Amino acid sequence: MTTPTIDSAPEASTGPKPPTRVQGGLLDPKMLLQSLPDAVRKLNPRTMWRNPVMFIVEVGALWATVLAAVDPTWFAWLIVAWLWLTVIFANLAEAVAEGRGKAQADTLRKAKSDTMARRITDSGEEYIPAAQLAQGDVVVVEAGQVIPGDGDVIEGIASVDESAITGESAPVIRESGGDRSAVTGGTTVLSDRIVVRITQKPGESFIDRMIALVEGANRQKTPNEIALNILLASLTIIFVFAVATLQPLAIYSKMTNPGVPDGAALTGDGVTGIVMVALLVCLIPTTIGALLSAIGIAGMDRLVQRNVLAMSGRAVEAAGDVNTLLLDKTGTITLGNRQAAEFTPLTGVSPEELADAAQLSSLSDETPEGRSIVVLAKERHGLRARSSGELTNAQWITFSATTRMSGVDLDDLHRLRKGAASAVAEWVRAAGGDVPIELGQIVDGIAAAGGTPLVVGEVQNGRARVLGVIHLKDVVKQGMRERFDEMRRMGIRTVMITGDNPLTAKAIADEAGVDDFLAEATPEDKMALIKKEQAGGRLVAMTGDGTNDAPALAQADVGVAMNTGTSAAKEAGNMVDLDSDPTKLIEIVEIGKQLLITRGALTTFSIANDIAKYFAIIPALFVAVFPGLEALNVMRLHSPQSAIASAVIFNALVIIALIPLSLRGVRYRPSSASKLLSRNLYVYGLGGIIAPFVGIKLIDLILQFFPGM
């Protein structure tokens, strides 16, 4: 194959626009109309049988349609219409939940199309469609070109625009080696040149998985969801038998009370078929059966809205049951960059003198620590923020692992150094100076408090001495203590993982407010801690980004891999944070708990609804035969026909009314399990009992003006 030159190369693909973020919340009428055709298509029995409760409703609606065609009445066709609406409303809940991800999926598909890859071969380079890339291929990507597939950077460093995946416009750095080598297909290189080894299999790229996830195509039912489906199916079977027993009871009642007139609900042959179907649909748990799938899809969608991809619904559910959070110290609990917090001079040295020397020795230090020293000297002591360019004759000494010092030689007579205590002390002694005992006391005090001591030394006019110590502090992020207090109220234990020594780790842990810490942690230590927690029956969540985190991420019940991390880490975890924000693990746990609470709340509401509907319909149906039931007919419904029709209509309308809540989720407040249970029983249990009485009565007041009621 002829290899085209760079000049004759196809025009570089431009990066796709960020995916549309479909906001959660109340039902959008436009989305409702867009989802209606999908809801109708879901009436296919091959689709409906996956939901046993709604499949029974569809079969009942079909049978009622046949009965109404044989013996047409206004009452019969009214019931048939609302039975079909009940099924459509149930499908609509799922269709709307799935439709919320379609806009994102459509945008993501654009990231795959029309992308060409510059594959490196033995004979040079060749241009092929990105879809033809195989695992192990090596491609080169330059500024302005789209990365054709998922892989690891094996050569070079570049600034990459990942807005097509994360929605975040700020570019990120990707480089060979280390934990920031992974790149994603569909993102755009903004500068420089990188060589990428493709790690994806055909059709299994990160974008392919994102598309499947946001559309719900790969959503599998979770263990709790399966268990709840079994419960709902069992309740449905019980109510089928319960409704079936009404037929012989009705026939016997008519035989022993021949003076009772026939009606649309009760005849000499017993309860009519239309009424039997209506009763069954009203009494089985149709509300939660209709919304269960939508709740699960919406839970994953809420994660997508926060730029987190859950590779399975099981992971989202497990997040709601997490008992232990393992959090990395650097970048999660702390800002990650040590900041200068204090200048501590030795006896005989003024604070201003130490600050001036510290600032001078840090002017060429472009590390966050060096810049913070310059700023602290300016803010605390009013020293002007000088630049290294002003000192034209100065010789700058850069930090090295060998010397463990940096600084400046202003001239032959004036030299400054800052660095590790032992290194600076040795430098001062070599220049003929003494190191006072006071220095060791200050250094030990800072280390015991969790800080990092940097010693400043000076040689001026032949006199060598130690000036003092700079206290570098790993700054805890604002609000972390409050977040950990919330976790504690939720019954979650927080553990900080760090490579620091135990003294430093304890100081940071106490300041942040975590429950425990693991110091000087190795990958083996993380694994051992996770297994120990799981052996005690706890579910564990952790974050990670490096290859050495992969075993622990795979072992954890919820493993959140950073998108900036290695391919090994992303493959091992069951969630990927596209923003690479380690603190998002706390939000993930809250979303998981919200999912479980929403499912539990609506299940409570649904079952309470069924109990209330039972006491609303049965007395109205049999009060003519058994006058004693009048005491239970608290709503004083107009007639048996009106009672049944009102219940069927309410049963359908309550589904559509609860779709927004199932998509948005029940509001979660950090609290103990017992308090959450009490609140749900009070709000959704009591509310589920009261709502049918109010709703059915209002509908009955309207229906009594129609003929045949």
Burial code of 3-40, b = ≥16 C-beta within 10 A, e = fewer?
Answer: eeeeeeeeebbebbebbeebeeeebbeebbeebeebbe
429 within 8 A of 373, measured Cβ to Cβ: no
Residue 670, H or E segment = none
399 known ligand binder: yes
266 within 8 A of 251, measured Cβ to Cβ: no
403 known ligand binder: yes
Query: What is the Cα gyration radius of the chain?
Result: 35
Least Cα distance to 319 among 333, 303, 332, 335 occurs for 303
14 known ligand binder: no
| Residue 146 DSSP one-character state | B
693 known ligand binder: no
369 known ligand binder: yes
401 known ligand binder: yes
For residue 441, what are the contacts with CB-CB under 8 A and spacing of at least 6?
Answer: none
For residue 70, what are the contacts with CB-CB under 8 A and spacing of at least 6?
Answer: none
Query: 């019940």: which residue's tokens?
Result: 557
176 known ligand binder: no
310 known ligand binder: no
662 within 8 A of 621, measured Cβ to Cβ: no
Catalytic residue numbers read 328
265 within 8 A of 644, measured Cβ to Cβ: yes
SS3 per residue for 321-346: CCCEEEEECECCCEEEEEEEEEEEEC
175 known ligand binder: no
149 within 8 A of 133, measured Cβ to Cβ: yes
| Residue 27 DSSP one-character state | P
Distance between CA atoms of 47 and 300, rounded to whole angstroms? Answer: 21
510 known ligand binder: no
365 known ligand binder: yes
319 within 8 A of 558, measured Cβ to Cβ: yes
Distance between CA atoms of 91 and 81, rounded to whole angstroms? Answer: 16
Query: 């009940």: which residue's tokens?
Result: 86
- Residues belonging to the binding site for Mg(2+) are 545, 549
- Residues belonging to the binding site are 365, 369, 399-406, 418, 545, 549
